[in-house]
Homo-oligomer: A and B are copies of this chain.
Amino acid sequence: MTTTTDRPAVADEHADAHVDVAALTEQLLGQYADLRREARAVVGTPEFQKIEGLAMAEHRERILHQLRELVAHHDVLRAFPTRLGGADDHGGSLARFEELVAGDPSLQIKAGVQWGLFASAILHLGTEHHHDTFLPAAMSIEVPGAFAMTETGHGSDVSAIGTTAEYDRETQEFVVHTPFRAAWKDYLGNAALHGTAAVVFAQLVTAPEGAPRVNHGVHAFYVPLRDPATGEFLPGVGGEDDGLKGGLNGIDNGRLHFDHVRVPRTNLLNRYGDVAPDGTYSSPIASPGRRFFTMLGTLVQGRVSLDGAAVNASKLALAIAVTYAGQRRQFVAEGPDETVLLDYQRHQRRLLPLVAEAYAATFAHEELLAAFDEVFSGRGDTPEGREDLETLAAALKPASTWGAMRTIQECREACGGAGYLAENRLVGLHQDLDVYVTFEGDNTVLHQLVGKRLLTEYGRALKAGGAGDVARAAAERAVHRTPLIRAVQTISDVGDARRSAGQLRDEETQRELLTDRVEVMVAELAMALRTASKLSPAEAAALVNAHQHELIEAARAHAERVQWEAFTRGVHATTDPGTKRVLTWLRDLFGLALVEQHLAWYLVNGRLSAGRARTVSSYLDRLLVRLRPHAQDLVDAFGYGPEHLRAPIASGDEAARQDEARAHFRAQRVAGREPVPEKHAR
């Protein structure tokens, strides 16, 4: 094997390139490899494999049963306190749960509802009394629970929910109440059927004697819903089934409403706000706004795990479609055999950039998970650390969930009619993953949060930097401060910033192109919005709204760059030289596909000349050709077995059918039984 150098000749590059699949699989499994492998082993058993087309009612029961099996026989309570039978292992717990998606996404999300939302709210928003009283039954699913935050009228804007919980000094109870139809809780897993309790978010209203009634904003309350024996709603509680959904039909989503339902004062999950018996409100966080966002912030793990699960779904789809594309043949281009789909340039164009994106998202997710564990373990639990974590999750969850939708759909189309059959999994994955882009933080709303954070950081940097090369420094800070990007080197100034074609594969060039774009977009936005504070509220709102699209695009550019940086660190961490070579090409493909996609920006902003811009696509085409021989290895390295893919088209059946057909024609020729084609008969 040739020794790799920084810039070997092209011929050497090709000779050198190979993928050590086992080692790469290990690298992709990451810091929680053992837990992931264990979880994959569980969901690879028939008991946990999704049955496509199961009727909704049966599917719901099956998922509940699977959940109970998980808790009875498998290590799924790692996130909970050691004293209650958990392991205080937040990152490892999420890693495990992300792998459930390979069994059935409904199982992943139902587990998320039960442990990630319902029990986690008790853990993170409650205190010792709640941990002792409610957590064990929530952990064991003795009490299946709903997370009753969203209402029909308010999803993204949680602060505006209509449900109230007013304190009654007389009885020392909270009265949970739904004042109008729009305030019905909605889309809640476990609400339609299984939930016997819920954590209900409501506006906390209280008043000590003689004082005015004050609304202290949204707080969480533990509220029993149903009689566990009969399954009937308790007095004052009502609801209805959300019915069939686009997917995830193993989860019983539903609506809830409350008619003056009374719960003990101590059912307020009181970590961030409490009410004394006399009705006096107290909180460790003085600002109602900051308190609200602190409470919501504990829910970041939902976004973190969706990011991981979405990447896994993309990988499953790619493993199916790339395997099929490497066997399926259609049309004779030349020679006796028909052409393998993956040898068509367009097919490579369709699938390989998505493989690259899945790698980028995998590495980025691994870093997100580490950041999450840092904060939730307490090792790095600072306000800054939390804010960075939330921004990172808000950047990556949209990127990976939208990525999964694009990836799964492209895979489905790349498999033609076979891709439309439920047995080949792709349509089911699309249906199940669809809602990932709008729940647990609508992607568009999350990207706005990221955009605003980038602007805030820019503003801070501007203040701190004073005059001089402020814009530059500020932009740097704005995009470099979030955890993934801190390590980045200072980017050298490059005069007219026009690149030569050869430079495109240079890591620093790619970094600079992707970074520049975020920096300039944020700086331009800040410039455009700088007068907002001097305007009337209406004018300011109009000004901000007139730049909403750019704000979201800036956030997207940031997320793409974060993924690229993580991928690059992943490449650096790869030790086998041949694998490193292939991964470098794949990273280049990821980077240059982004540059191609945003090429107009680079041209308009003078980062690439027209001549150089033309070379982006052709260099990308060359990368496809280089990567083609490694495509199967790259998806095999995702580490999924037939028990996870479960798609007949990715099973080898297709190749076997072709062998049989070829053997038939060969036998005909040998036997002289082959009819003459008409055009040769003349």
Could you list which residues of chain A lie within 8 angstroms of chain B, going by C-beta atoms? Answer: 52-53, 55-56, 150, 152-157, 160, 162, 166, 179-183, 186-187, 203, 205, 207, 212-217, 242-247, 281, 288-289, 330-335, 338, 343-346, 349, 405, 409, 412-413, 416-417, 419-423, 426-428, 430-431, 434-435, 437-439, 442-444, 537-538, 540-541, 544-549, 552, 596, 599-600, 603-606, 610, 613-614, 621, 657-658, 660-661, 664, 675-679, 681
Contacts and interface: CB of A to CB of B under 8 A. Distances in A.
A520 to B, nearest CB: 13
B545 A344 contact: yes
A589 B421 CA distance: 37
Contacts of A603: 599-600, 603-604, 610, 613
Given A153-B658, A180-B664, A245-B422, A552 B600 contact: no
B421 A243 contact: yes
- Closest CB pairs A-B (n = 6): A246-B427, A599-B600, A244-B422, A53-B244, A333-B541, A334-B537
Contacts of A187: 417, 420
A540 B152 CA distance: 60
B538 A181 contact: no
B675 A156 contact: no
A346 B446 CA distance: 13
Contact of A153 (B537, B600, B661): B661
Contact of A660 (B181, B203, B538, B681): B181
Given A55-B55, A621-B546, A658-B182, A246 B678 contact: no
A11 B466 CA distance: 44
A409 B409 CA distance: 11
A676 B214 contact: yes
Contacts of A154: 330
A50 to B, nearest CB: 12
Nearest to A657: B182
Given A52-B244, A216-B678, A664-B180, A157 B338 contact: yes
A423 B215 CA distance: 36
Given A212-B681, A245-B421, A606-B610, 12 more contacts: A181-B660, A213-B676, A242-B421, A288-B677, A288-B678, A289-B679, A346-B444, A346-B548, A413-B444, A420-B438, A427-B431, A427-B434
B334 A540 contact: yes
Nearest to A431: B431
Contacts of A156: 330-331, 416
B412 A434 contact: yes
Given A157-B331, A334-B538, A661-B162, A246 B438 contact: no
A537 B334 CA distance: 6
Contacts of A243: 53, 421-423
Contacts of A213: 675-676
A653 B552 CA distance: 30
A430 B246 CA distance: 9
A56 B422 CA distance: 12
Nearest to A673: B213
8 contacts: A53-B244, A160-B331, A187-B420, A213-B675, A289-B679, A345-B549, A420-B438, A599-B603
A453 to B, nearest CB: 17
Contact of A549 (B289, B335, B621): B621
Contact of A657 (B153, B246, B548): B153
A288 B599 contact: no
Contact of A420 (B52, B245, B346, B546): B245
Nearest to A215: B675
Contacts of A439: 417
Contact of A215 (B53, B430, B678): B678
B549 A349 contact: yes
Pick the most buried of A421, A540, A610, A675: most chain B CB atoms within 10 A of its CB: A675
Contacts of A437: 413
Given A55-B55, A344-B545, A658-B182, A614 B621 contact: no
A663 to B, nearest CB: 8
Contact of A155 (B56, B330, B431, B614): B330
Contacts of A413: 437-438, 443-444
A675 B420 CA distance: 55
Given A53-B56, A157-B330, A545 B345 contact: yes
A589 to B, nearest CB: 14
Contacts of A676: 212-215
B186 A552 contact: no
Nearest to A443: B413
B661 A346 contact: no
A435 B422 contact: no
Nearest to A552: B346
A16 to B, nearest CB: 24
A213 to B, nearest CB: 4
Contacts of A343: 545
